[in-house]
């Protein structure tokens, strides 16, 4: 079954989602979605994956553990690909990924879950910034075709005619472009190359692993990318907005499907997320994003980070703790915390479905 809808980013669904706690293995008593169980969650849960959501996860863990001193959440920001593999192998209870599971990964994850299926739960809206290091050159504009040329090592100087055409009134330095990409398997790379494939002249498939043929320089994790760009004059890369802001990196305006160069803001990214379509079934809330959006003022490179776990099949105590923690992250307090650290809350048309799906974890 396919669900579609316009997802408004700026509003917040009313009502507070209380934590679902794990004080008992008795699941026979019916509960309203998000209704707390007395006693509070207790135990430790291990998770790994997306480094793009590392800052959000750190904020969530701190608040959740402060309110629930008997609970501990260990999250390793190892990258989306590594996190998904760890979940498939059964070494973590949930994975963070900037891309939903592929068909092959879904089959493997379902086999891991055993009695239930693996579900993709959108949790964070994270716009992807094109960041660069060119002192004195602010407000750089880049089209998808130019970005494809840069990251495919075809455009190698900042004063190349293609870059000049995007920036007719800017004096560009005649220095080499140092293009950085993620060296680890990354959902951010997956989303960025999906954008290039859909809108530019990108000759490779969109994948978590960067294509070796494109060359360039690799850096591990979102923090590694931010550090590489900050420390290298002439550098350019792609990274989730919170890391760009934390490192005070220059951010390029990117042309959307109509050719309009758009500055990255939560509002401009929200216009693209508005058109996202839910293409999963049941409690699997996989999204499809239109990277070629022609909506006026829409910034086109966005990602949604998912928490991937078993709808059913985790050990009872582990399932209860995962449910409790994710209920917090999807609740009003968890979502409202995102705005102050470079992310955006889930659209209200989606967040209610996420809360319902979380409450079904058992």
Q: For the sheet containing 261-262, what is the strand order? A: 141-142, 253-255, 261-262
Q: Which of 56, 3, 17, 12 is nearest to 347 (CA)?
A: 12
Asked whether residue 21 is marked as a ligand-binding residue, the answer is no
Which residues have C-beta within 8 Å of that of residue 29, sequence separation ≥ 6?
Answer: none
Helical segments of 161-246, H only: 161-166, 187-199, 221-230, 241-246
HSE value, Cβ hemisphere, 13 Å, CA-based, for 204: 18
Instruction: Report helix angle 144-151 to 187-199, nearest 10.
Output: 120
SS3 of the chain: helix, strand, coil, percent, to 5: 35, 20, 45
Distances (CA, A) of 273 to 31, 38, 80, 230: 32, 37, 21, 29
Does 187 carry a binding-site annotation?
Answer: yes
Q: Does the annotation place 106 within a ligand binding site?
A: no
Q: According to the annotation, is 305 in a ligand binding site?
A: no
Pairing of strands 71-76, 43-49: parallel
The phi, psi pair for 126, rounded to 5°, reads -130, 100
Give phi and psi for 196, each to the nearest 5: -65, -40
C-alpha–C-alpha distance, residues 255 and 264, integer Å: 11
Within 13 A of 78's CA, how many CA atoms are on the CB side?
A: 17
> CA torsion sign, 35 to 113 to 104 to 57?
positive
How far CA 147 is from CA of 133, 240, 263, 307, in Å, comes to 15, 17, 15, 29
For the annotated binding site, the residues are 50-52, 80, 98, 186-188
Binding site members for phosphate: 50-52, 80, 98, 186-188
């Amino acid at each position: 079954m396919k669900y579609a809808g316009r997802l408004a980013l700026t509003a917040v669904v009313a009502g507070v989602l209380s934590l679902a706690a794990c004080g008992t293995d008795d699941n026979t008593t019916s509960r309203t979605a998000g209704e707390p169980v007395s006693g509070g969650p207790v135990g430790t849960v291990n998770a790994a994956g997306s480094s793009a959501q590392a800052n959000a996860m750190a904020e969530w863990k701190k608040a959740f553990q402060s309110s629930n001193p008997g609970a501990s959440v260990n999250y390793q920001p190892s990258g989306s690909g590594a996190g998904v593999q760890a979940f498939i192998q059964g070494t973590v209870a949930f994975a963070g990924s900037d891309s939903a599971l592929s068909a092959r990964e879904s089959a493997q994850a379902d086999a891991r879950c055993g009695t239930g299926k693996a579900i993709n739960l959108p949790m964070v809206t994270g716009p992807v910034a094109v960041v660069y290091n060119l002192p004195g050159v602010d407000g750089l504009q880049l089209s998808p075709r130019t970005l494809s040329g840069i990251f495919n090592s075809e455009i190698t100087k900042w004063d190349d005619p293609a870059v000049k055409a995007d920036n007719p009134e800017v004096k560009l330095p005649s220095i080499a472009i140092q293009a950085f990409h993620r060296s680890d398997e990354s959902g951010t790379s997956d989303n960025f190359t999906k954008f290039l494939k859909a809108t530019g002249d990108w000759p490779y498939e969109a994948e978590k692993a960067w294509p070796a043929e494109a060359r360039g320089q690799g850096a591990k994790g979102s923090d590694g990318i931010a550090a590489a760009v900050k420390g290298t004059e002439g550098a350019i890369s792609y990274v989730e907005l919170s890391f760009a802001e934390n490192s005070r990196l220059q951010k390029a305006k990117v042309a959307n499907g109509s050719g309009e160069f758009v500055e990255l803001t939560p509002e401009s990214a929200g216009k693209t997320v508005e058109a996202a379509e839910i293409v999963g079934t049941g409690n699997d809330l996989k999204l499809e994003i239109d990277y070629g959006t022609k909506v006026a003022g829409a910034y086109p490179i966005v990602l949604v980070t998912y928490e991937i776990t078993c709808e059913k099949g985790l050990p009872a105590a582990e399932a209860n703790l995962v449910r409790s923690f994710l209920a917090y992250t999807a609740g009003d307090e968890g979502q409202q915390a995102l705005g102050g650290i470079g992310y955006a809350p889930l659209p209200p048309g989606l967040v209610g479905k996420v809360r319902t799906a979380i409450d079904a974890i058992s």
